[in-house]
Amino acid sequence: MIYNAKYECMSREDMRALQSGRLKATVKTCYEKSPFYKRKMDELGITPDDIKSIDDIAKLPFTTKHDLRDEYPFGLQVVPQDQVVRIHASSGTTGKPVVDTYTKNDIDMWAEGVARVMAAGGVKAGDMVQVSYGYGLFTGGLGAHDGAAKLGAVQLPTSAGKTEKQIMLMQDFGTTVLACTPSYAMRLAEAIHNSDQVSIDKMKLKAGFFGAEPWTEGMRKELEEKLHIKAYDIYGLTEMCGPGVGGECEYQDGTHLWEDMFFPEIINPETLQPVAPGEFGELVFTSLCKEAMPIIRYRTRDLTRLIYDKCKCGRTAVRMDRILGRSDDMLIIRGVNVFPSQIEACLTEFPAFQPYYFITVDRKNNEDTFDLDVELRADLYTADPQKQAEYVKPLFSQIVSMVGIKPNIRVLEPFGIERSTGKAKHVLDKRDFSK
């Protein structure tokens, strides 16, 4: 179902006009109310009058995660505190978290973004949405919750973790929709299949909305088969509100971005110039309706491309290709660029292996080492190195041909790789780049 046809199916011309008006208003507010943006625009010698339409967006300064950390916690907020009704933050691995604050309208806009994604995947009143994203400062739990509420669906706020209880409730309550990270969905699927208390055949699941981390088509196939669902990608980031910046439609052929709310650009991360239409690069967003903390040209670090062809579903909203990875997740091993998602893509081509993996990179004798821990399916597990080698050989060749470097593949015992309830951690880089 199309939740808001006015915006999701707007003509490109009308969309540009809408975006132009909203950009001008956002820039004016930022210039007048945010010392940070006034300073940045003054440095570039521009004022709000220089922004006449969305075509002028490239004149504006970028905002980076670094800027947000410098302005921690509320430096970018442009409304008085009594208009703020919610605060979220993304954990981040180092230093202070990135904070987003919301007015009532911001929460409403955000819920609509998620509702559009869930409606595109068939969710409606009467559905029961089990929200197994973490509730808390992380935007996943409450974001999915509010989106489901907007559609009049039942919200089942289980949060992440307590896997045995989750699957019991899933069966007993008749959950129809699951929302969680793709890695936690894998863990739930595994727990269901290993359980003698519940059975997927007794469940009513029909759809899943998975995001917050990169995942692959191989993983989608696996989740759809194991959970008897259609698995949809949902994208978002704290800086723009949270999940629901975009999501897939029934054709599962790219993530529609809600361009009336967030203006997307793709830039070359080296030159910072826009790439040619359809080329890969770094995704940049400008919020077009955020009230409490508007953000101009935020560099997401996510690498993808935009597809402006019309989608079969009738939506005109631009589509984004799967996120290849984050530029800061990219490993350079022996001079070769490696994205963890490439390893996952290889792994899911071999059904003998579980889709779990862990990469350890180190440097020994001035050379990078690249260890890849994998698991065989429990029923195929063997400790015999020769038998293991039979399984490992084709996987090794595939990784060498796809990624271009040779991993040292180690087969761990079943459950040897830690299962995640939120965003999975796939990499340990032990190299010391300070030396």
Residues that bind ligand DLL (CB under 6 A): 90, 133, 139-140, 143, 211-214, 233-238, 242-243, 300, 302, 323, 326
Measured from the CB atom, the residue of 339 and 381 that comes closer to ligand DLL is 339
Write down the least CB distance from residue 329 to ligand DLL, Å: 8
CB closer to ligand DLL out of 41 and 88 = 88
**Min dist. Cβ of residue 415 to ligand DLL (A):** 25
Give the residue with the Cβ less far from ligand DLL, 41 or 68.
68
Q: Tell me whether residue 80 is exposed, middle or buried, using C-beta atoms within 10 angstroms of its C-beta: 0 to 12, 13 to 18, 19 or more.
A: exposed
As measured in angstroms, the least distance from the Cβ of 53 to ligand DLL is: 27
Reduce the secondary structure of the chain to three states and give it as a string. Answer: CCCCHHHHCCCHHHHHHHHHHHHHHHHHHHHHHCHHHHHHHHHHCCCHHHCCCHHHHHHCCCECHHHHHHCCCCCCCCCCHHHCCEEEEECCCCCCCEEEEECHHHHHHHHHHHHHHHHHCCCCCCCEEEECCCCCCCHHHHHHHHHHHHCCCEEECCCCCCHHHHHHHHHHHCCCEEEECHHHHHHHHHHHHHCCCCCHHHCCCCEEEEECCCCCHHHHHHHHHHHCCEEEEEEEEHHHCEEEEEEECCCCCCEEECCCCEEEEEECCCCCCECCCCCCEEEEEEECCCCCCCCCCEEEEEEECEECCCCCCCCCCCEECCCCEECCCCEEECCEEECHHHHHHHHCCCCCEEEEEEEEEEEECCEEEEEEEEEECHHHCCCCHHHHHHHHHHHHHHHHHHHCCCCEEEEECCCCCCCCCCCCCCEEECCCCCC
Nearer to ligand DLL, 166 or 300 (CB): 300
Q: What one-letter code names the amino acid at 328? A: D
- Minimum separation from the CB atom of position 148 to ligand DLL (A): 13
**CA separation for the pair 429, 303 (Å, rounded):** 21
Q: Provide, rounded to whole angstroms, the least separation between the CB of residue 210 and ligand DLL.
A: 7
Q: Which residue is nearest to ligand DLL (CB)?
A: 211
The two tokens of residue 62 are 């970028």
Crossing angle of helices 385-403 and 340-347, rounded to 10°: 130
Q: Least Å distance between CB 383 and ligand DLL?
A: 35
Q: Which is nearer to ligand DLL, 288 or 323 (CB)?
A: 323
Question: What is the amino acid identity at position 225?
Answer: E
**Is the CB of 90 or the CB of 354 nearer to ligand DLL?**
90
Q: How far is the CB of 98 from ligand DLL (least distance, A)?
A: 7
Q: Which is nearer to ligand DLL, 56 or 321 (CB)?
A: 321
Pick between residue 380 and residue 427 the one whose CB is nearest to ligand DLL. 427
Asked whether the beta carbons of 152 and 180 are under 8 A apart, the reply is no
Q: Which is nearer to ligand DLL, 303 or 376 (CB)?
A: 303
Between 236 and 254, CB nearer to ligand DLL:
236
Q: How near is the Cβ of 11 to ligand DLL at its closest, in Å?
A: 27
Which of 426, 428, 429 has its CA nearest to residue 215? 426
Nearest distance from C-beta of residue 178 to ligand DLL, angstroms: 12
Smallest distance from the beta carbon of 298 to ligand DLL, in angstroms? 10
